[in-house]
Amino acid sequence: MGISEKMVSPPVYEGNDRLTTGIVLAVVTFWLFAQTTLNVLPAMRKELRINDGISDIAVSITALFSGAFIVVAGGLADRFGRVKMTYAGLALSVAGSLLIAASPCGTATFLMAGRIIQGVSAACIMPATLALMKAYYDGAARQRALSFWSIGSWGGSGLCALLGGLVDATMGWRSIFWMSIVVATVSWTLIRGTPESRGDAEDATQPIDWTGLTALLIAMVAFSVVVGQGSTLGWLNPIVLALMVAFAVALIVFIRTERYCSHPFVDFRLFENAAYLGATLSNFLLNGVAGALLIVLLLVQKAYRFSSLQAGLMTTGYLVAILMTIRVGEKLQQRWGGPRRPMLMGCAVTAAGILLTTFTYVSATRYVIIAVIGFTMLGIGLGLYATPSTDAALSSVADARSGAASGIYKMASSLGTAFGIAISAAIFTALTASDGLSPMRPLSAALPDQLRFAAAVALWFNVTMVLLAALAIRLGMPTPGGDEAAGDSS
């Protein structure tokens, strides 16, 4: 059952450029500002006087909470209204940015609280805005709108490192979050007046699966803390062991709850559609390459003594490439009759770009050149992948379930980002202490060769994730001329 006319007022409303711009800016509030910490992390560590493990968790925890709450937020958007949920997300973005901008030195409490709120903000914004795209745009107009949505999402991830370095060098990293408040306000102004859109009336009356949500949240938080603090506290530390047990138990509870619950938090039946499964799994894995960005930016700042601005400038090619190729991916999908080929091409170029950055033992000048080329290829690859993947996921579900399905798809994005950053940072931090010195020491105490080796290993982990994403696409996405995306099946 699709969205009936009586559920959307007025029924003849069609999306316009004002709505598209407002939605893009709403998405940008997360990527452009919440993720600038990938580059300004060293400056934040120094000013707030927090250790490497705590700061690594602060980076990944936003995506973690976004992923944990994004599906239930998508369901709430279907129930209470997607425009209302977008407004709620923008309000939370403002609150989170205020806390981070006001963080006092010597404590991570404000920083952590602000990062968590920003994660919940993204959970509200991402599925609600995707569902609005599905409700108010159709055919080629939807693909165009999704391309701009992807520019806000993937493009924001490219601009965040550059903007973060520029603002940090000129006005200080706190100014980034004051700017975020301005962007959220402009977004609210542009979206204001958009008619409300809701999902299926029967689905909207179903109770929320709080057990599944709680179990997933416990599992993901336990996983993040173990990965971020395991080497610091010691892998046999009672706290770490207890968290490992908590992760395993919570994961089992989550899976059993979702399998047998009549109104699951994550509806596993959606994954019976091979195209949706392939798009969602590959989306999880490709978003994990945010870890590669973090590692390279840390490496050049620690091993080569680059400033955050100099490091950010290295990502300029990534930003330009991803912005230029997002619509190319859209056109290739239309030309080739389906999303499979442009998604596979995107994976191939992405893997090649990250592979270049693994050559960490060359001189500083050569590595900068290699990294710039690698980042540019990374941007091209993700740009080619973005719109075909998003459109494949949305086209695989009925209109009435688009909020929840969009939530699962974006949960994959957020959890993939959290997973990639957490694992990459943990590998990098652990290997810089491989000489037997205390894991509590800062990264600045590591020797350049240790940093290069640790970065190379962490980057190879990212290459592996991209190869697995390509495998998921090959196995899941139909070939052109086949049963393409199953056409709005429920």
What CATH number has the domain bearing residue 151? 1.20.1250.20
132: in domain: yes
pLDDT tens-digit readout, 31-52: 666 667 767 777 888 888 887 7
Separation between Cα atoms, residue 88 and residue 97, nearest integer Å? 14
Please report the pLDDT score of residue 486 as a whole number: 42
| Alpha carbon separation from 324 to 30, 290, 327, 350, 383 (Å, rounded) | 21, 19, 7, 15, 8
Over residues 394-400, the mean pLDDT reads 67
Q: How confident is the model at residue 463 (pLDDT cuts 50, 70, 90)?
A: very high
Contact indicator for 111, 100 with CB cutoff of 8 Å: yes
Q: How confident is the model at residue 86 (pLDDT cuts 50, 70, 90)?
A: very high
Helices 402-431, 210-233: inter-axial angle, 10-degree rounding: 10
Please report the pLDDT score of residue 46 as a whole number: 81
Give the CA angle between residues 422, 274, 392 to the nearest 5°: 75
Over residues 454-478, the mean pLDDT reads 92
Q: How confident is the model at residue 158 (pLDDT cuts 50, 70, 90)?
A: low
Please report the pLDDT score of residue 338 as a whole number: 82
Please report the pLDDT score of residue 14 as a whole number: 62
pLDDT of residue 245 exceeding 90, the answer is yes
| Alpha carbon separation from 416 to 46, 255, 466 (Å, rounded) | 28, 18, 12
Q: DSSP assignment, residue 446?
A: S
Instruction: To the nearest 10°, report the CA torsion of 250, 252, 253, 259.
Output: 140
Instruction: To the nearest 10°, report the CA torsion of 192, 197, 198, 200.
Output: 180
Report helix, strand or coil for 194.
coil
pLDDT tens-digit readout, 261-282: 777 777 777 787 788 888 899 9
Over residues 227-237, the mean pLDDT reads 74
pLDDT tens-digit readout, 92-103: 999 999 998 888
Over residues 433-459, the mean pLDDT reads 68
SS (H, E, C) 255-302: HHHHHHCCCCCCCHHHHHCHHHHHHHHHHHHHHCCHHHHHHHHHHHHH
Q: DSSP assignment, residue 7?
A: G
Compute the mean pLDDT over every residue in the chain, rounded to the nearest whole number: 81
245: in domain: no
5: in domain: no
Please report the pLDDT score of residue 98 as a whole number: 92
pLDDT of residue 186 exceeding 90, the answer is yes
Please report the pLDDT score of residue 398 as a whole number: 64
Please report the pLDDT score of residue 202 as a whole number: 56
pLDDT of residue 203 exceeding 60, the answer is no
> Percent of the chain beyond pLDDT 70?
84
177: in domain: yes
224: in domain: no
The token pair at 128 is 């609600």
pLDDT of residue 5 exceeding 50, the answer is no
Over residues 327-354, the mean pLDDT reads 89
215: in domain: no
Burial class of 348 by CB neighbour count within 10 A (0 to 12, 13 to 18, 19+)? middle
Lowest mean pLDDT among 77-86, 140-149, 189-198, 382-391: 140-149
> Which domain, by its residues, includes 478?
10-192+265-486
Burial class of 210 by CB neighbour count within 10 A (0 to 12, 13 to 18, 19+)? exposed
Separation between Cα atoms, residue 113 and residue 95, nearest integer Å? 10
pLDDT tens-digit readout, 420-437: 888 898 888 888 865 444
119: in domain: yes
Instruction: To the nearest 10°, report the CA torsion of 477, 478, 483, 487.
Output: 20
- Please state whether the peptide bond connecting residue 11 to the residue before it is cis, i.e. omega within 30 degrees of 0: no
358: in domain: yes
Structurally, how many domains does the chain consist of? 1
